[in-house]
Amino acid sequence: MAMGLFIVTALTANAQSFSGAFDGMRNSDEPVQIQADKLEVRDSKGYAKFSGNVEVVQGSTVLKASKLTVYYSKDSGNKGPAGNVQRIVATGKVAVRSGAEQATANSADIDMKNQVALLSGGVTLTQGNNIVQGCKLRINLANNDAVLTPCAKNKNGKKGRVTILFDAKSAKRK
């Protein structure tokens, strides 16, 4: 009983925000700035592909990746890639940061319209000294609901598990 109370207290005191790294993307009205080494636009199909040192900034959020595809809608009357961004798909050492919170993964698929982010492959979330790791993370950016699943197998061939490290000292500093 005492151990259960300790775990609940630790989880509450160190509450990991799964969507903290995406804080700036909560409001799709914020402008999106993208920089990359190369850009290929397929306006007739409604997407733009960025490659090489890609950096996306929206609000307080910075996303970095090797490759990025931005899907946009021209329905709003805006023409070209500056139209409404509907979805962002990033691959290759993806890192998303907002303030002291960071998320890394092999890929990220952010549905701007429905406010859902899916990170896959070697997912690591950090908030101060707190670390959360798994294989796939689905975040509802509108309400901060999240589901983190482990990889089928870990590096040693054993059944994968989600791991969480909460630093009790970081809770006392708040």
Q: What is the CATH number of the domain that holds 86?
A: 2.60.450.10
The backbone torsions φ and ψ at residue 96, rounded to the nearest 5 degrees and listed phi first, read -125, 130
| Matching residue, tokens 């409404």 | 84
Domain that holds residue 97: 17-173
- Give the pTM: 0.73
CB 22 within 8 A of CB 117: yes
Per the domain annotation, does 7 fall within a domain?
Answer: no
What is the separation of C-alpha 74 from the centre of its chain, rounded to a whole number of angstroms? Answer: 25
Token code pair at residue 5: 């109370």
* Low-confidence residues in the chain, pLDDT < 70: 1-29, 75-83, 154-155, 168-174
Count of domains forming the chain: 1
Question: What per-residue confidence (pLDDT) applies to 163?
Answer: 87
pLDDT tens-place string over residues 114-141: 889 999 999 999 888 888 899 999 988 8
Per the domain annotation, does 6 fall within a domain?
Answer: no
Amino acid present at 134 = G
Helix (H) / strand (E) element for 145: namely none
